[in-house]
Each structure stands twice: as C-alpha cells, then as structure tokens.
C-alpha cells in the first residue's frame, strides 16, 4: 500500500507551497487507495508555536485534507518519537556507522583552512564516547537519488561530509528524525519541496544504514513570484490562511495549487478535485519552477464563485457581511454581485449602500463622481424620481432623458447618481440597485448629496 506523508514544521503561517506539497501527496494517496500521514515536525521547540500547528491543521482541513476521508492518518507529532530517534542514533553508533566528535567549528576551520569545506573526519577513529554524533559517509563513489520528478541526481561522496545526526546533548537532528519517522511510519513515497533534495542525499544513506529500503523520492519544483524569485513570506502573500480569509474558495484554491508543477494534460485548467485527482501522476510533474500567479488565481476564484448555486453564494458571503445586515435584503442583489466579485470579501463594498443609514463617503470618489454637471443631473433626476415607475428600465430611461437635456451620455449622467446613492464610483448595476434601495431612500440620498454640492 502506498503511504505518503506531509510533514510540516509549525514555525509560521501555512505556506501555499506547503499546501501544494500536501495536495500532491493527498492526490496520490487518494487515487491509489493508500494512506496520507500528517506528521507535525515539532522538534524545534524554540521556533514552534501551538497556534501554528492548529493553523496548519485547520488550513489543511479547509482544502479537504482531514480525517473525514479514511485516507487520512494522524496527526502525529514528531516530538513524541524522540525515544526512537535516540535509539536509532545509538544503533548507528553501536554498528560503527556513526561516531562521536568533539571538534568545535573553529577547530575544523583551522584544520581545513576554509569555512566551506565541511568536516574533515578528524574524530572518525578516535573512539570518543561523548560529543556530537556524526554519520560516517562513504569515501568514494556517489549517492544516487532517483527522483521521480528530477530523474537521476548524483551526489559525489567526496563532497558529502560526515554530517551531524545528534547534538552534543544527545538531541537528534532533523535529517535523522525525519528519516527515522518515515521508516517507522512505513512511508513509501517522500514527496516534498525541492529545497529538501540535499537532505535526500543524506537520507539515501541513512535509510539503508537503519536497515530500510529508501523510499520513492519526488522533489517538487520551487514556486516563484512574478519576478521569478522564490516565493517568500517576507516578500509575497504566501499564507494559505490569508487567501481563505480574503474569500478565496477552497475549491478554487485546490484547483489552482494543483497546477503548480502539474497539469491534467489537456487544455482544461478549471477542473474539480474529483476529476483531477484520478488523473494525477507523479511522473507528470515537471521540474522547472512554477509561477504563482495571483491574478490567475483570482480569475479562477471568480469562475468558481459564478458557478455556485445562488443560495450557496449567499451562504458563503454571510461571514463577510455585517451580522446586523438582513440576508433577505442581501438576497435581492446577491445575483448581481455574484457575477462581479472575484473574492468574497469584495462583497461588502458592493452592497453596503443597502444597509448603511448613509452611503460611505470618501472624498476621492466624490470628486470623481461629481465632475460633470452634478447639480443639474441630480436636480433633474430628483424631479423624475417622485413619479417614475420604480423598475430598472424606467429608472434608466428617466436618467437618460435628464442626461440628454444636459448633453451627457448615460454613462456620464450615471456618475453623480451612483456616488450620491452608493458612495462609490463602481458597483452593481445602478438601476437594479436603486430599485432595491427604494424610492424614499433614493430621493433622500440625492437630496443629501445636493445639499453637499
């Protein structure tokens, strides 16, 4: 049975790159009827925080990776496995595959004459019984990491130092703990970001030393931004949580993330998980870097929003609306909004005019809207509003007439009315909005605007 794992370190917000790795693992496990193990690598106590662990678990659940699916196993916590990690170190020592070392970095540098050369093997045969523990790497030959995505990657052994697997205080290092856990959890495929390829070279040696056959390796391409720079939390919006909070739909996010390094093979890009998952093949992942295009993601999200059944759209918008706003009133304009918003949080600015006692005011929008004969337009429209039949067609014709009287096309004539009524220069179709707002409130707002001019 295929067993994959996702092994995040809870040292910050959950990165979209992590989510992509998780999804590729998840797709393979689900398609093959295997298992997906969630293992939280929480051994770096100084950098871990419980809220980040919770954040990762809830963000994974949001994109559908959770215990509701029998493929899911865990979460396990790496810190709980420390006894096994220590045991593995002891066994490697006992077998002569590792040794103690008491060299300081300065001593090593003084001997090798360089801070880049790595460890020189000084303690290999000194037979020490305390200190840091180093793994004895072969002197000759190459380590081959046979990677599904990158092909055969060779690491010459003479460039591989005897790396540390446990600190002087006995605490095991990541490279070892990760391998030991993968072995104990019977992981068959290690699918993770490319930045771990150098760990794979070491782990390719550790697995057999610990009596296990190395897994299938697959190192996924880096994700880059518009400037082709690796996506970084300091520079880019990388937290999955912030996309969720902004109103990206999980379905759209999942769809988009799956395309970072992989594609279903035809021209289709918008494809639900249920169709994508059976098509996913690790062999089809491409090694070149993947561009995280936020604009494209937005466009995807807009498409997913438009495809929602109307009542579902209303339900998903609810958490972005002020709780005091009447959802039945919202429902009257929801259909107009559904075709216009790309992320759910944009809903507020589109509909707040219906709920606030007065439209929002900002000077820039006001100035922009009140450019062309605003007094004349508003006064003329106000006169007609008293008697016009209150449906979008008639409301439009009335404004067209006022515009013609002052030599303005409808587009220009709409601007002052829109700002007077909604406070904004862009928004939902104006005459439908006015219809829902009602005669009395519309008249009121136009009067107020006139008084301000």
| Residue ranges in contact with ligand GLU by CB under 6 A | 7-9, 41, 178, 192, 196
Pairwise CA distance, residues 192 & 148, whole Å: 12
Pairwise CA distance, residues 256 & 103, whole Å: 49
Q: How far is the CB of 168 from ligand GLU (least distance, A)?
A: 23
Angle, helix 174-184 to helix 82-94, in steps of 10 degrees: 100
Q: How far is CA 42 from CA 172, 188, 337, 370, in A?
A: 13, 22, 44, 58
Pairwise CA distance, residues 438 & 113, whole Å: 83
Specify the residue, 41 or 435, whose C-beta has the smaller distance to ligand GLU: 41
**Per-residue buried b or exposed e for 429-448, using 16+ beta carbons within 10 Å of the residue's own CB:** ebbbbbbbbeeebbeebbee
Between strands 35-40 and 3-6, the pairing is: parallel
Pairwise CA distance, residues 278 & 138, whole Å: 41
Q: How far is the CB of 165 from ligand GLU (least distance, A)?
A: 15
Specify the residue, 212 or 279, whose C-beta has the smaller distance to ligand GLU: 212
Q: How far is the CB of 218 from ligand GLU (least distance, A)?
A: 11
Q: How far is the CB of 181 from ligand GLU (least distance, A)?
A: 9
Kindly report the number of other CB atoms within 10 A of residue 134's CB atom: 23
Pairwise CA distance, residues 364 & 369, whole Å: 9
Angle, helix 439-452 to helix 410-422, in steps of 10 degrees: 100
Q: How far is the CB of 146 from ligand GLU (least distance, A)?
A: 17
Q: How far is the CB of 5 from ligand GLU (least distance, A)?
A: 7
Specify the residue, 5 or 445, whose C-beta has the smaller distance to ligand GLU: 5
- Among this protein's residues, is 230 annotated catalytic? no
Q: How far is the CB of 149 from ligand GLU (least distance, A)?
A: 14
Q: Which of 117, 229, 233, 296 is catalytic?
A: 233
Long-range contacts of 51-59 (CB under 8 A, 24+ apart): 52/10, 52/11, 52/12, 52/13, 52/14, 53/10, 55/10, 55/13, 55/14, 55/241, 56/8, 56/10, 56/14, 56/18, 59/14, 59/19, 59/240, 59/241, 59/244
- Asked if 136 contacts 96 with a C-beta cutoff of 8 angstroms, the reply is yes
Specify the residue, 9 or 373, whose C-beta has the smaller distance to ligand GLU: 9
Contacts (Cβ under 8 Å, ≥6 apart) of 30:
36, 69, 71, 277
Cα 301 from chain centroid (whole Å): 13
Specify the residue, 257 or 421, whose C-beta has the smaller distance to ligand GLU: 257
- Asked if 19 contacts 59 with a C-beta cutoff of 8 angstroms, the reply is yes
Specify the residue, 203 or 422, whose C-beta has the smaller distance to ligand GLU: 203
User: In angstroms, how far is the first alpha carbon of the chain from the final one?
Assistant: 74
Q: How far is the CB of 445 from ligand GLU (least distance, A)?
A: 54
Pairwise CA distance, residues 69 & 54, whole Å: 19
- Asked if 176 contacts 132 with a C-beta cutoff of 8 angstroms, the reply is no
Specify the residue, 34 or 359, whose C-beta has the smaller distance to ligand GLU: 34
Specify the residue, 38 or 224, whose C-beta has the smaller distance to ligand GLU: 38
Phi-psi region of 228 (alpha: psi -120 to 50; beta: other; left: phi over 0): left
Residues known to be catalytic: 233
């Amino acid at each position: 049975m295929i067993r994959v794992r996702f092994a995040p370190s809870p040292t910050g917000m959950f990165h979209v790159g992590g989510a992509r790795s998780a999804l590729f693992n998840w797709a393979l496990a689900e398609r093959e009827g295997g298992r997906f193990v969630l293992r939280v690598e929480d051994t770096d106590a100084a950098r871990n925080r419980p809220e980040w662990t919770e954040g990762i678990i809830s963000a994974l659940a949001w994109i559908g990776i959770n215990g509701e699916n029998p493929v899911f196993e865990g979460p396990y916590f790496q810190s709980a496995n420390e006894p096994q990690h220590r045991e593995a170190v002891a066994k490697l020592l006992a077998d002569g595959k590792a040794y103690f070392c008491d060299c300081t970095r300065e001593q090593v540098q003084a001997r090798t004459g360089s801070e880049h050369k790595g460890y020189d093997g000084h303690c290999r045969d000194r037979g020490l019984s305390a200190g840091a523990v180093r793994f004895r790497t072969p002197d000759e030959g190459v380590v081959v990491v046979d990677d599904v995505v990158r092909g055969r990657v060779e690491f010459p052994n003479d460039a591989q130092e005897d790396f540390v697997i446990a600190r002087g205080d006995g605490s095991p290092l990541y490279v070892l703990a990760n391998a030991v856990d993968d072995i104990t959890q019977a992981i068959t495929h290690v699918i993770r970001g490319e930045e771990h390829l150098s760990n794979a070279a070491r782990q390719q040696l550790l697995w057999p030393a610990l009596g296990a056959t190395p897994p299938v390796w697959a190192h996924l391409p880096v994700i880059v931004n518009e400037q082709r720079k690796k996506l970084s939390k300091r520079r880019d919006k990388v937290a999955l949580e912030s996309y969720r909070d902004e109103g990206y739909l999980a379905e759209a996010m999942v769809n988009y993330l799956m395309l970072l390094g992989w594609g279903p093979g035809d021209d289709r890009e918008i494809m639900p998980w249920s169709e994508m998952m059976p098509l996913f093949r690790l062999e089809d992942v491409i090694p070149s870097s993947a561009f995280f295009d936020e604009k494209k993601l937005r466009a995807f999200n807009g498409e997913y929003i438009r495809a929602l059944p109307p009542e579902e759209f209303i339900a998903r918008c609810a958490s972005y609306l002020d709780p005091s706003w009447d959802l039945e009133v919202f429902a009257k304009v929801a259909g107009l909004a559904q075709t216009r918003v790309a992320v759910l949080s944009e809903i507020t600015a589109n509909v707040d005019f219906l709920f606030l006692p007065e439209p929002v005011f900002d000077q820039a929008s006001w100035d922009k809207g009140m450019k062309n004969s605003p007094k004349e337009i508003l006064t003329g429209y106000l006169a007609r509003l008293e008697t016009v039949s209150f449906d979008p067609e008639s409301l439009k014709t009335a404004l067209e007439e006022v515009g013609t009287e002052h030599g303005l096309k409808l587009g220009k004539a709409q601007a002052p009315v829109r700002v007077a009524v909604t406070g904004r220069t862009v928004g939902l179709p104006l005459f439908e909005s006015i219809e829902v707002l009602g005669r009395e409130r519309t008249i009121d707002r136009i009067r107020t605007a006139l008084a301000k001019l």
